[in-house]
């Protein structure tokens, strides 16, 4: 009955029963693998990923980057491995090597950058219980851009939209502040981003948490070095009796907020009213 149901011979059914009695469920595992055995061992695959990460100029090749076809040819000519492009793609993916664009970087010329960066990172990881750590920055100019759409027009005569346009209403700038304790973002939209608008934004942040120390993390934008802004910060430091109320950091994009701090802020953030992040002109 079982042989007819599975369309196999009776001797095969008896063999499966004997194997199951002798080895249990392991006897039911397939005896063949999925595809032919791999032609490269682990050491060869590691060597291939190392070659893919090497700079071609250091190896004496007149190319700027490897292609799969060129790397396959080099591996075959040097007797390292005779594989296809798809196999090479699988090996590189398993080795954590992917096709990426080259990125540039630059260091800060601020002689106190390391000390400031250490101070900021310490505030990220160990914020004060009696104050708030606020990251402040600006974004802009913001402007309305015309976007091309779709519609029904005569054949060969589509609607034309000028590539350039006049900003009759001007542009806008946004000041933003991220509270690392609550994860709340506060912002203001202004027509300009001079030191007057920046100082007004700082005063609004100061008024939002009366009686608390506010530790501001900023970059080295010139408006933050104005004498009026520094004088106001000095008055706040004397008022609250702290050594520093504003920290200016050069190249802030090189100082990242730790993911643990972001997750902690998201977890501990209390419910906020809908108007907490509103934009008021």
Q: If we measure between CA atoms, which residue out of 138, 251, 278, 135 comes closest to residue 198?
A: 138
Cα–Cα separations (whole angstroms), residue 156 to 153, 160, 163, 182 = 8, 12, 19, 56
User: Please, which pLDDT band fits residue 1 given cuts at 50, 70 and 90?
Assistant: low
pTM as predicted = 0.51
Cα–Cα separations (whole angstroms), residue 200 to 95, 189, 279 = 52, 12, 14
Count CB atoms within 10 A of the CB of residue 200: 13
Strands laid side by side in the 246-248 sheet:
185-190, 172-179, 131-142, 213-218, 246-248
Position 19 pLDDT exceeds 50: yes
Looking at residue 242, what is its pLDDT? Answer: 47
Q: If we measure between CA atoms, which residue out of 169, 166, 149, 147 comes closest to residue 158?
A: 149
pLDDT in tens, 151-188: 888 888 888 877 777 777 788 899 999 988 888 899 99
Distance CA 183, CA 177 (A): 10
Sequence-separated (6 or more) residues with CB below 8 Å from residue 204: 186, 188
Which pair of structure tokens corresponds to residue 32? 């063949």
110: left (phi over 0), alpha (psi -120 to 50) or beta: beta
Average pLDDT over residues 246-255: 40
Distance CA 219, CA 252 (A): 5
pLDDT in tens, 107-142: 777 787 778 788 888 888 887 777 888 888 888 888
Q: What does pLDDT average to over the chain?
A: 77
Query: Residue 39 in contact with residue 81, Cβ under 8 Å?
Result: yes
Looking at residue 264, what is its pLDDT? Answer: 53
Looking at residue 271, what is its pLDDT? Answer: 53
pLDDT in tens, 183-223: 889 999 988 888 899 999 988 888 888 878 888 888 878 88
Q: Locate tokens 């002798």: which residue?
A: 22
Position 278 pLDDT exceeds 80: no
Average pLDDT over residues 50-59: 80
Looking at residue 33, what is its pLDDT? Answer: 61
Which pair of structure tokens corresponds to residue 221? 């934008």
Determine which of 17-26, 27-36, 63-72, 202-211 has the lowest per-residue pLDDT on average: 27-36
**Which percentage of the chain shows pLDDT scores above 90?**
5
Alpha helix (H) residue ranges in 39-147: 42-53, 68-77, 85-94, 113-125
Looking at residue 240, what is its pLDDT? Answer: 54
Per the model's pLDDT, the better-predicted residue between 273 and 201 turns out to be 201
């Amino acid at each position: 009955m079982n042989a007819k149901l599975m369309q196999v011979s009776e001797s095969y059914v008896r063999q499966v029963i004997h194997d199951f009695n002798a080895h249990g469920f392991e006897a039911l595992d397939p005896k063949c693998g999925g595809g032919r055995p791999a032609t490269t061992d682990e050491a060869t695959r590691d060597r291939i990923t190392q070659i893919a990460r090497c700079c071609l100029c250091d190896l004496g090749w007149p190319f700027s980057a490897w292609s799969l076809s060129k790397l396959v040819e080099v591996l075959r000519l040097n007797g390292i491995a005779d594989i296809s492009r798809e196999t090479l793609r699988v090996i590189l993916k398993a080795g954590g090597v992917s096709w990426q664009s080259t990125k540039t970087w630059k260091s800060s010329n601020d002689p106190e950058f390391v000390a400031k960066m250490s101070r900021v990172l310490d505030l990220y990881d160990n914020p004060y219980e009696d104050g708030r750590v606020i990251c402040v920055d600006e974004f802009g100019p913001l402007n309305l851009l015309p976007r091309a759409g779709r519609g029904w027009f005569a054949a060969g005569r589509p609607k034309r939209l000028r590539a350039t346009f006049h900003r009759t209403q001007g542009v806008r700038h946004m000041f933003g502040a991220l509270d690392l304790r609550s994860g709340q973002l506060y912002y203001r939209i202004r027509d300009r981003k001079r030191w007057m608008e920046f100082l007004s934004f700082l005063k609004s942040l100061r008024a939002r948490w009366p009686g608390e120390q506010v530790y501001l993390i900023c970059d080295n934008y010139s408006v933050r070095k104005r004498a009026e802004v520094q004088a106001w910060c000095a008055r706040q430091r004397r008022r609250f009796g702290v050594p520093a109320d504003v920290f200016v950091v050069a190249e802030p994009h090189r100082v990242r907020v730790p993911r643990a701090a972001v997750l902690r802020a998201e977890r501990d953030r209390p419910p906020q009213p809908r108007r907490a992040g509103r934009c008021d002109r």
